[in-house]
């Protein structure tokens, strides 16, 4: 049985790019199963791409091939690679930080640089700015169809050379009645945000479900949000339109608005410059 190909990009689906990628894959092998992960990754953001892969990869069968194209450095010297993970999944992507989380769990067994002399689609106009179609998608299709082995993707290079996003090493701070981190990512369709604070770690600070906590969000030193928020299980625990703090499905602590968009309502974005401080309601500011 041929492995499925899972595609993730920052292209959106409002133009032809995703369809062109799929078309080239179908030219290689019309029988391939091609599934969309998402095409709404934050533009030019390998960090968000890495987080999305970490959340999704564990729920796909061993041997799945994932193509992730969030590639602000397309056409430059950054490597185009295929990484075989310890659980057998293969990820084909620019080596620009997208592999950060998978490098740590489940880990990378082997990584190879794509040899463009043999693994590049030549059927269309020559371009150096659409590697998603001409390089990553094409190589994934050749692998999935069995036309090449993983070893035939290109030369192997040391795993220690895989590029990581610096955000991974920015650790949250915890004390009794206090936690501080940054806005890890956001689900833009609903407007929720996730913090780089796990719900498990947050529990060690002594916070209890149902209590009110003081939340402060700062961006580059400027206060953006400062309110008392209920720490609770689910959206129905607060009134419609009210913010809440809760444990998200991926294990991260989240902020949202019941039947609203936290990101839109309070004008927040994602990234390591968006600092979130949480204190017990009765503690000093």
Tell me the whole-structure pTM to 2 decimals.
Answer: 0.89
pLDDT at site 73: 82
pLDDT at site 284: 52
pLDDT at site 129: 72
Map out the domains of the chain with their CATH numbers: 5-166 (3.40.50.10790), 170-280 (2.40.30.90)
pLDDT at site 285: 47
| Phi-psi label, residue 210: left if phi above 0, alpha if psi -120 to 50, beta otherwise | left
pLDDT at site 126: 67
Per-residue pLDDT tens over the stretch 88-106: 999 999 999 999 999 999 9
Regions in the chain scoring below 70 on pLDDT: 124-126, 283-285
**Sequence-separated (6 or more) residues with CB below 8 Å from residue 57:** 64, 66, 85, 89, 91, 102, 106
pLDDT at site 125: 62
């Amino acid at each position: 049985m041929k492995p499925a190909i899972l595609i993730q990009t920052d292209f959106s689906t409002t133009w032809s790019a995703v369809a062109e990628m799929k078309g080239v894959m179908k030219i290689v092998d019309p029988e391939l199963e091609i599934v969309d992960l998402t095409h709404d990754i934050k533009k030019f953001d390998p960090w968000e791409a890495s987080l999305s892969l970490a959340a999704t990869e564990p729920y796909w069968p061993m041997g799945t091939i994932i193509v992730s194209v969030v590639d602000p450095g397309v056409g430059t010297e950054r490597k185009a690679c295929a990484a075989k993970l310890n659980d057998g999944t293969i990820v084909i992507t620019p080596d620009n930080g997208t592999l950060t989380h998978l490098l740590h769990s489940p880990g990378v067994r082997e990584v190879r640089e794509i040899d463009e002399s043999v693994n590049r689609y030549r059927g269309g106009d020559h371009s150096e700015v659409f590697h998603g179609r001409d390089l990553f998608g094409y190589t994934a299709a050749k692998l999935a169809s069995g036309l090449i082995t993983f070893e035939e993707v290109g030369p192997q290079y040391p795993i220690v050379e895989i590029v990581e996003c610096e955000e991974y090493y920015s650790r949250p701070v915890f004390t009794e009645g206090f936690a501080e981190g940054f806005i890890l990512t956001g689900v833009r369709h609903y407007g929720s945000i996730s913090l780089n604070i796990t719900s498990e770690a947050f529990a060690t600070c002594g916070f209890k479900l149902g209590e009110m906590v003081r939340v402060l969000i700062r961006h580059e030193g400027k206060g953006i949000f400062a309110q008392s928020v209920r720490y609770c299980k689910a959206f129905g625990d607060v009134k419609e339109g009210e913010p809440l703090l809760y444990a998200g499905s991926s294990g991260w602590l989240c902020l949202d608005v019941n039947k609203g968009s936290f990101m839109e309502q309070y004008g927040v974005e994602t990234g390591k410059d968006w600092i979130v401080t949480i204190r017990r309601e009765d503690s000093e500011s």
